[in-house]
Amino acid sequence: MPIRPSLAFFAGAVIVGVSGYLLAEPMAPGFVDRLEAEAEVAIADAGGTGVTARFANAAGSPTRHPLLSGGETLDEATRAQVARAVSAVPGVGGVVWSDGTMRAESDEPVYQPLHCQEDVEGLLRTRSIRFEEASSALLPASRILLDEVADALRPCLGSIIAITGHTDQSGPEPGNLALSMDRARAVREALVRRGIPRDGLRANGIGSQQPVDGLAPTDPANRRIEFSVIRTEPLRPTPVDTPGAR
Query: Are residues 148 and 75 in contact, defined by beta-carbon separation less than 8 angstroms?
Result: no
For 163-202, write each residue's pLDDT tens digit.
999 999 988 989 999 999 999 999 999 999 999 999 899 9
CB 210 within 8 A of CB 166: yes
* CA-based nearest residue to 147, from 129, 135, 125: 129
Handedness of CA 57, 63, 65, 71 (dihedral sign): positive
Q: Which residues pair with 227 in a beta bridge?
A: 163
CA distance 245 to 103: 7
pLDDT digits (tens, 9 = 90+) for 25-59: 333 457 778 888 999 999 999 998 999 998 887 66
Q: Where are the domains of the chain?
A: 1-107+236-246, 115-230
131 has which bridge partners? 138
pTM over 0.75: no
Q: How far apart are CA 149 and CA 143, in angstroms?
A: 10
Listed in sequence order, the residues at least 6 apart from 153 whose beta carbon sits closer than 8 Å to its beta carbon are 116, 120, 161, 191, 196, 227, 229
Q: Residue 148: which H helix or E strand, with range? A: helix 140-153
CATH topology of domain 115-230: 60s Ribosomal Protein L30; Chain: A; (3.30.1330)
pLDDT at 236 over 70: no
